[in-house]
Amino acid sequence: MTQKTASEAGPGPKPTLAAALEDVDAFGVGIFEGVLEKGETDEVRRRLWAVADAKEAAGPTDFVPADADDKNIRLLSLINWDAFFIDLSVRAEVMEAAAHVIGERMLLSNYSANIMGPGARSMVLHADQGYVAEPWPPMALAVNVGWMVDDFNEAAGATRYVPASHQASGSPDPDRDYETLPIEGPAGSMIIIDGRVWHTSGANTTMDRQRAAIFGYYTVPWIRQQVNWRDALDAGVASECSDEYLQLLGYSLGNRELFNLGAMKARAEKYRTEAAEN
């Protein structure tokens, strides 16, 4: 993998969501800076580390096999640990960005964080919808909308990507070498990554800096979610969620009008009653 600096090509942080989404259309990646004020960013960081500490106390933190080493702290299913992250996952800017890429009907497949430690190496180049059979359709089926909890720069392991790779119809060739650019921006920025974009974590070459990021992975509604929220979400957390949020988590069965679910349930209940009587 050949590396370039962000200044050589590709988009930089933009002051408006509209400008960032133009970059997503052109390059597959957009950075909307200044979304979170410093106080908000500090609160996100504080709560994120509180979850990390709680998970460490409860047992080993999550591990992703694609990681090159054990120097990342992976925190999966963040919304299960702090309702603060529920609100963060559906901020107006997030939902607008996700809808721009994959349409308004979507599911939240996962909500996770990665705290990259000093010396962490880069993972394999991949696309987040790489499980989809190729050739891919000419539209994204997934999108990552996340947050730079710390400053993203090349030294601290900023995510790297191949510009305009979302225009390809499949995943990168593992036997080829591709030029990548870092996604750099200040803490508090929002990141939008088309699900077709070829990307990887950078290498954290610092001796003492950690780089934290939060990512919401949103997909079109017919793709199976990474997390089975009905099984994974704590009942107490679920009881506090709005109906709209539970629908985003896949608690409903989809388009009730299209499938006439009310009639289907009535027929099923009638069948069970008749079977019991016989």
What gap in Å lies between CA 14 and CA 18, rounded to an integer? 9
| Domain-embedded: residue 46 | yes
| Domain-embedded: residue 39 | yes
| Domain-embedded: residue 33 | yes
Strands 29-32 and 160-161, bridge-based pairing = unpaired
Amino acid letter at 265?
Answer: K
| Domain-embedded: residue 278 | no
| Domain-embedded: residue 266 | no
Which residues constitute the domain of residue 200?
2-241
Strand segments, DSSP code E, in 66-187 are: 72-75, 107-116, 142-148, 160-161, 179-182
| Domain-embedded: residue 270 | no
Here the tokens at position 189 are 């920025």
| Contact in structure between 141 and 129 (CB atoms under 8 Å) | yes
| Domain-embedded: residue 165 | yes
pLDDT of residue 160 exceeding 70: yes
Domains contained in the chain, number: 1
For the question of whether the overall pTM of this predicted structure is more than 0.75, the answer is yes
| Domain-embedded: residue 181 | yes
Strands 160-161 and 179-182, bridge-based pairing = antiparallel
CATH number, domain containing residue 78: 2.60.120.620
Q: What is the pLDDT of residues 175-222, one digit of tens each?
A: 999 999 999 999 999 999 999 999 998 888 888 888 899 999 999 999
pLDDT of residue 7: 45
> What percentage of the chain reaches a pLDDT higher than 70?
84
